[in-house]
Structure 1
Amino acid sequence: MPPEAPLSAAEPAREAARAQLERLWARGRDFLGCEAAIMGGAMSWLSERNLTAAISNAGGFGVLACGSMTPDLLEREIAATQALTDRPFGVNLITMHPQLDDLIRVTLAAGVGHVVLAGGIPSGGAVRAVKDGGAKLVCFAPALVLAKRLVRTGADALVIEGNEAGGHIGPVSLTVLAQEILPHIREVPIFVAGGLGRGEAILAYLEMGASGAQLGTRFAAAAESIAHPNFKQAFVRAAARDAIPSVQLDERFPVIPVRGLANDGTKRFLAHQAETVRRYQAGELTKEAAQLEIEHFWAGALRRAVIEGDVETGSLMAGQSVGLVTSVQPVAAIITELVEQAVAALASRHTIATPL
């Protein structure tokens, strides 16, 4: 019988690196109940049953985006997701939804173990309903003072999302939020989000004290995403600088900042704002009517881009990590790549540290 081939010099380093990564995100993995502490960002029209289940089946943690769904529709979507995966996944609910109480009830009745409350500070009643129902509560914290408040009021985990992210964004980058929050909040797991597209970046935040990461943009262009091929190819072609926040022309008419790919629609939005302000100043519109004119410009625009493939006038919500999307990949390949990048970064340190 031939002797066994000796281990290559790199293999012990990789084994040590993988074990170190497991230690770094063990808290996040245990909290989510998955193999890799990588959450899917909840994206309207995209984070439905197929993408959510694919992320969970690949060892990550899928999150179903409720958005503006009715309770009946959410109930059906949860059931459809459960038919595609037997692994844990979460449901993202918007705190401003007029039927939030019913949505929480439906989610809990379906046996979902993690509820993400987004879009604002959740009410005490919503927090109690989730926790009394036996689910784990995840909240978004845009600043340290709010992170402390959310932990005091019952959040079981936090997501801190920088303005590099796609969709609705806050004013602070993840690099600053991480420095502000991670050293001071130890009571609950914290997941970082915004601009993440490689495993080395995730590793850096884990070493700062994060328990895991949340990614949206890379999964938006995944093979299992129901997004139109035009939408995915727009992501593949885009550079980081193409993902820009919406521009506000007049402070009297606030525009909620949303990051997306610049296209003909973003140019038309600027012209629409200018024309609306002109009509207001001419007395053709009241201030309230002018604000509604501006707010309604993007109505249905995300669906047009995601489902219908209108990448010219639709809303192409994307984070700056879109520049790292170079092809349409299966979700499993994306997660494997992220993990291997983190392991390789750690292994290189072990190799350097090991004397010849």
Structure 2
Amino acid sequence: MAATSKTAALMARGREFLGSEYAILCGAMSWVSERNLVSAISNAGGFGVIACGAMNPELLDREIAGTRALTDKPFGVNLITMHPQLFELIEVCAKHGVSHVVLAGGIPPKGSVEAIKESGAKVICFAPTLALGKKLLRSGADALVIEGMEAGGHIGPVSTSVLAQEILPALAEEHLVFVAGGIGRGEAMAGYLEMGAAGVQLGTRFACASESIAHPDFKKAFFRANARDAVASVQVDPRLPVIPVRALKNKGTEEFTAKQIEVARLLDAGEVDMGEAQLKIEHFWAGALRRAVIEGDVENGSIMAGQSVGMVSKEEPVADIIAALMAESEAALASRAAA
């Protein structure tokens, strides 16, 4: 830690909050952020987060237990707010004494934050705007993640750099705010820490780690890609509230457009309500992502990746990735101090 003392000092609040050596969270990537990658990140000093995604309570129960068998370090669980069994999933987290629960995918439903905190766990919420960030903190969130549109997976409309400039000066002094989206190197991490961030979250950078169970062909697609290959999905019908998803462009991207048209027709026919329509979209992504990550179908599956994908050029251990980020950050901070 002495070799990266400047970075560690800027991360002090985030490190204390997470209980980890470094305030570096791994973004929850469905099918990727499972026990092997999560435990490896926590064992290397970062903070791993299980992606619950569409798991049912029984599956999450097994995944938490499996992760606990691989690490004695803290890790979190990411839950989707629109999951129909959200409160049962919260109970599973409480049963295992999970220290941090991340709520993603929308405004937390009534009682969910309170239910998590009853078990003694900390609550982390995503804040796409300053106003919502303030509201979430008033509602009991212990920390926020602000994630820009450069990220992989579900994204908002505003870039990380703009969100950071809007939210960090207003909230970071009194609250814990982690920055995510498009971070691939330590120099960027250092910049956000200097602006007041408690830490950072990265997903794409860890997706192809040696410990990631992602299919070799999925990883090769990352190695071949550059920033412009990671594109955001388009919304076909403005009545259907579909959160854009950033992924490498392939046939699966076109299939999502067709899926939106199909779901919009079901909505028009009254065969599904808006909640069911959104779940159908989420289930599409879960299946498409599995085809790419687990089965290696990189033509028809979804290769979710952020714009930092061009900085992922090889498979390397999680510990090496974290060490590189810390070294790059420390060099940047040292050069500024010497200037």
TM-score (norm 2): 0.91
Question: 2:97, 2:119 within 8 Å by CA — same for their partners in 1?
Answer: no
Which residue of structure 2 aligns with residue 221 of structure 1? Answer: 208
Question: In structure 2, which of residues 109, 133, 150 is the aligned counterpart of residue 123 of structure 1?
Answer: 109
What is the deviation of 1:100? 1.2
What is the deviation of 1:123? 2.8
Which residue of structure 2 aligns with residue 316 of structure 1? Answer: 303
Question: In structure 1, which of residues 227, 234, 259 is the aligned counterpart of residue 221 of structure 2?
Answer: 234
Q: Find the aligned partners of 2:315 and 2:250 in 1 and give their Cα distance.
A: 21
Which residue of structure 2 aligns with residue 204 of structure 1? Answer: 191
Letter of the aligned partner of 1:325 in structure 2?
Answer: V
Letter of the aligned partner of 2:175 in structure 1?
Answer: V
Which residue of structure 2 aligns with residue 43 of structure 1? Answer: 29
Structure 1 residues 286 and 232: alpha-carbon distance in aligned structure 2, compared to 1, 3 A threshold: same
What is the deviation of 1:18? 2.6
Which residue of structure 2 aligns with residue 112 of structure 1? Answer: 98
Structure 1 residues 287 and 162: alpha-carbon distance in aligned structure 2, compared to 1, 3 A threshold: farther
Give the root-mean-square deviation of aligned CA atoms: 2.5
Whether 1:330 aligns to 2:317 is: yes
Which residue of structure 1 aligns with residue 17 of structure 2? Answer: 31
Q: Find the aligned partners of 2:219 and 2:295 in 1 and give their Cα distance.
A: 12
Q: Find the aligned partners of 2:6 and 2:19 in 1 and give their Cα distance.
A: 19
Whether 1:133 aligns to 2:119 is: yes
Structure 1 residues 349 and 312: alpha-carbon distance in aligned structure 2, compared to 1, 3 A threshold: same
What is the deviation of 1:131? 1.2
Gaps in structure 1 of 5+ consecutive residues: 1-13
Q: Find the aligned partners of 1:121 and 1:274 in 2 and give their Cα distance.
A: 23
Whether 1:348 aligns to 2:338 is: no
Aligned ranges 1:1-356 → 2 under 5 Å: 18-185=4-171, 186-252=173-239, 255-270=242-257, 272=258, 286=268, 295=281, 298=285, 300-350=287-337, 352-353=338-339
Structure 1 residues 211 and 98: alpha-carbon distance in aligned structure 2, compared to 1, 3 A threshold: same
Q: Report SS of the residue matched to 1:314.
A: coil
Q: Find the aligned partners of 1:93 and 1:285 in 2 and give their Cα distance.
A: 26
What is the deviation of 1:129? 1.1
What is the deviation of 1:195? 0.4
1:283-342 deviation digits (Å, cap 9, x = unpaired):
x99555799699476561111000000001110111001011011111111100000000
Structure 1 residues 286 and 160: alpha-carbon distance in aligned structure 2, compared to 1, 3 A threshold: closer
Gaps in structure 2 of 5+ consecutive residues: none
Q: Report SS of the residue matched to 1:183.
A: helix
Q: Report SS of the residue matched to 2:146.
A: strand
Letter of the aligned partner of 2:311 in structure 1?
Answer: L
What is the deviation of 1:22? 1.6
Question: 1:249, 1:273 within 8 Å by CA — same for their partners in 2?
Answer: no
What is the deviation of 1:24? 0.6
1:97-148 deviation digits (Å, cap 9, x = unpaired):
1111111111111011111111111134111111121111111111000111
Structure 1 residues 288 and 245: alpha-carbon distance in aligned structure 2, compared to 1, 3 A threshold: farther
Structure 1 residues 180 and 112: alpha-carbon distance in aligned structure 2, compared to 1, 3 A threshold: same
Indicate the percent of aligned positions where both proteins have the same amino acid.
65
What is the deviation of 1:249? 3.8
CA radius of gyration, larger in: 1
What is the deviation of 1:250? 4.4
Structure 1 residues 224 and 273: alpha-carbon distance in aligned structure 2, compared to 1, 3 A threshold: closer
1:191-231 deviation digits (Å, cap 9, x = unpaired):
00000000000100000110100000111111111100000
TM-score (norm 1): 0.87
Q: Report SS of the residue matched to 2:124.
A: strand
Question: 1:246, 1:255 within 8 Å by CA — same for their partners in 2?
Answer: no
The total of aligned residue pairs comes to: 333
What is the deviation of 1:88? 0.4
Larger deviation, residues 73-82 vs 121-130: 121-130
Letter of the aligned partner of 1:97 in structure 2?
Answer: H
Question: 2:190, 2:329 within 8 Å by CA — same for their partners in 1?
Answer: yes
Structure 1 residues 313 and 135: alpha-carbon distance in aligned structure 2, compared to 1, 3 A threshold: same
Q: Find the aligned partners of 1:68 and 1:29 in 2 and give their Cα distance.
A: 29
Q: Report SS of the residue matched to 1:182.
A: helix
What is the deviation of 1:255? 4.0
Q: Find the aligned partners of 2:102 and 2:284 in 1 and give their Cα distance.
A: 28
